[in-house]
Structure 1
């Protein structure tokens, strides 16, 4: 076994997402964690998808023998191949249920420690049953067996840590450590250019309300679309939203967007459904008056940090780890939410949540000076508290604790 502090320590990171195939926060996390961990250890990455050119990164396609099988079963097939690929490692570190089964299998196969980072939890996402059908039971199994048998669990926020211990009460609390997600503030910084926003049809003469995220239940986009009906008429709604989880959520959002267009002027709603390159998103965020995160489930929410790093004020739901990122009244406004305790995150009073969301957004639209000050404070907070080099060091500390 390598010395715990030595550069020769081999760490195998196991993940579904890795650049360029990134669609959510976990993929962003892996991109930057890998970069900074490489200064501290011998890092190998195992991911899903097409072959990668990056040294030390191995990608695994779905087994052809499982073509047409349930999506969760196909995932488990990839996991078994990734576990085989981790032979020779000193420690495996898996991210999300998609890769947890690979990490757990490698732990058993090679007798090495398994660290799990929890970016979300299956028991708190019951709507996934809409997407996976019976595969939801398999995804839940993969997550549960990995977390309950992990040598250490990294939670991306204090709220996430509380959720882990509530969802999996057999887990020793001492094994669950908080290591925040981070932000690359050299990449994410204000871009005052206008070529992207002009190409997308965003009117720079109007205050803009921006949402960035996948169309999934947890992101709360339907609540935002309802709230936008209540905003001042000069506000322009900019949605960078695509990749719907299911046809049902896609249809719901499309209908709400049509209703919103009907009550606002012709250019009052700009909806971009394709995934934009980072540099284009950064320019849109920079020119936003306010960024909105209406999530009903969010273990941390890297997207809030991305907006803050671009000097944009944030209005976000006070749920999960968001209050640990957004400093209420300083870098943005938190919207209170009382949620039904059934794991869905559904507001007890949806109309109240929608109205409070609208009130928070309106407050900053009508006070652009305050929004600007919050944006400056947000940038400072992102730089001071959420650097990836710091997070890599904290992750190494967790590794050393289990070796």
Structure 2
């Protein structure tokens, strides 16, 4: 099968996912194409046998970028076009329909203004009057594109797609994200350190609630904190770190194109978000055998079984987050058991081979 994926970003969970899918398609003998702006993600995919095309769609009104993608679609003439982020879904489904190509759009998440409409998520940003039309109405219209299916990476987002957007059940499929085989390589021996280190990875945006983690960590004596990522909230996070003077060991690592060394040497991975779907960072940490503490929001409880693969807490409940960190910081045996169970769960259910096998079924369905 000839599959063309479109991304309009250069980093983030959807981009990592698209690269992993593209590489796995090559491994299975399919013709795999990836289109997007120039960056390390395209270079990595090309090194692994994916045919890459540079086309930068910078906004939904970027006519030049849309024409470049249309040219690639017409040149490649794929059996299916797979759109892997929100802007790609907006532009790509129109372009696929123009060329009479079937399309699949993975709804990886929702705008912050609509986060509270996903079962289990907290509200993140005030909803404006126009949001219902701008996001829900437009998505409902695009989902009706002929020979098109919406894929969600968790059941919570599937419920949102059906009940809030109004997409017919027959046009929604749930396919969890998966990690590439490199993440499931045998865990490295952990560096012996004086303090237990809690690691966070992601975009520093309000939805991630990193200040909650800083405040909770400050209440756990001897706990070190490593924050891997960057974003609009970095200044606020640095201010909270300064306020919580009891934290002696905090490392703001900034954005890392390869975060694997940070995850592989973490003692605990923490995801205190107010809203999530099927977060890649969580799956990657579990694949590395790192015990996790996460908010029970969105699709997270579909991945982490509380007390079995990790510890779940209520989003925004700093006292619960503190208690979970204190529990794991003080019990190396529990950390080892939860980490091993999480790794087994990802290997059994959230490897990229499981994801691509399910996606191929969807591809066959829409291209029939």
Same fold (TM over 0.5): yes
Q: Find the counterpart in structure 1 of residue 171 from structure 2.
A: 175
Per the alignment, do residues 174 and 239 of structure 1 end up closer, same or farther by CA in structure 2, a change over 3 Å counting?
A: same
User: What are the equivalent positions in structure 2 for 1:372-383 lying under 5 Å apart?
Assistant: 372-383=336-347
Do the aligned partners of 1:148 and 1:168 also contact (CA within 8 Å) in 2?
A: no
Q: Return the match for 1:270 from 228, 237, 251.
A: 251
Q: Distance in 2 between matches of 1:289 and 1:15?
A: 33
- Residue 11 (1) aligns with residue 6 (2): no
Matched with 2:119 is none
Distance 1:141 1:50, change over 3 A: farther
Q: Which SS does the other structure have where 2:235 is aligned?
A: helix
Q: Does 1:356 align with 2:320?
A: yes
Please say if 1:184 is aligned against 2:164.
no
Alignment of 1:131-142 (within 5 A): none
For the 8 Å contact 1:79–1:101, the answer to whether it is kept is: no
Q: Which secondary structure does the structure 2 equivalent of 1:383 belong to? A: helix
Task: Give, in angstroms, the shift of residue 114 of structure 1.
Answer: 1.5
Kindly provide the CA deviation profile for residues 3-38 of structure 1, in whole angstroms up to 9, marking residues without a partner as x.
xxxxxx322211124xxx4x2110110111001122
SS of equivalent residue, structure 1 residue 252: helix
* Equivalent position to 2:333, from 337, 350, 369: 369
Unaligned runs of 5+ in 1: 1-8, 63-70, 195-202, 338-349
Distance in 2 between residues matched to 1:394 and 1:360, nearest whole Å = 35
8 Å contact 1:98–1:139 — kept in the other structure? no
Please say if residues 185 and 382 of structure 1, whose CA atoms lie closer than 8 Å, have aligned partners that are also in contact.
Answer: no
1:39-83 deviation line (CA, Å, top 9, x unaligned): 253222211235956252111146xxxxxxxx6356565234313
Counterpart mapping for 1:37-186 below 5 A: 37-38=25-26, 39-49=28-38, 52=42, 54=46, 56-61=51-56, 72-73=59-60, 77-87=64-74, 88-122=77-111, 124-125=114-115, 143-149=139-145, 151-169=148-166, 171-186=167-182
Report the Cα offset of residue 393 of structure 1.
1.2
User: CA contact under 8 A between 2:293 and 2:324: conserved in structure 1?
Assistant: yes
Q: Residues 144-165 of structure 1: CA distance to partner in whole angstroms, max 9, x if unpaired? A: 5433436211111111211222
Q: CA deviation at 1:287?
A: 2.9
- Report whether the alignment pairs 1:386 with 2:346: no
Distance 1:330 1:355, change over 3 A: same
Two-structure CA RMSD over aligned residues (Å) = 2.8
Cα distance change, pair 291–167 in 1 and its aligned pair in 2 (3 A): same
- Corresponding residue for 2:239? 255
Change (3 A) 1:81 1:294: same
Q: Give yes or no for contact 1:79–1:99 (8 Å, CA) kept in 2.
A: no
| Distance change in 2, residues 1:227/1:143 (3 Å) | farther
> How many residues matched?
346
Q: Secondary structure at the match of 1:214?
A: coil
SS at 1:106's partner residue? Answer: helix
State the 1:143 CA deviation.
4.6
Structure 2 unmatched runs, 5+: 116-122
**Alpha-carbon distance between aligned partners in 2 of 1:89 and 1:115, rounded to the nearest angstrom:** 12
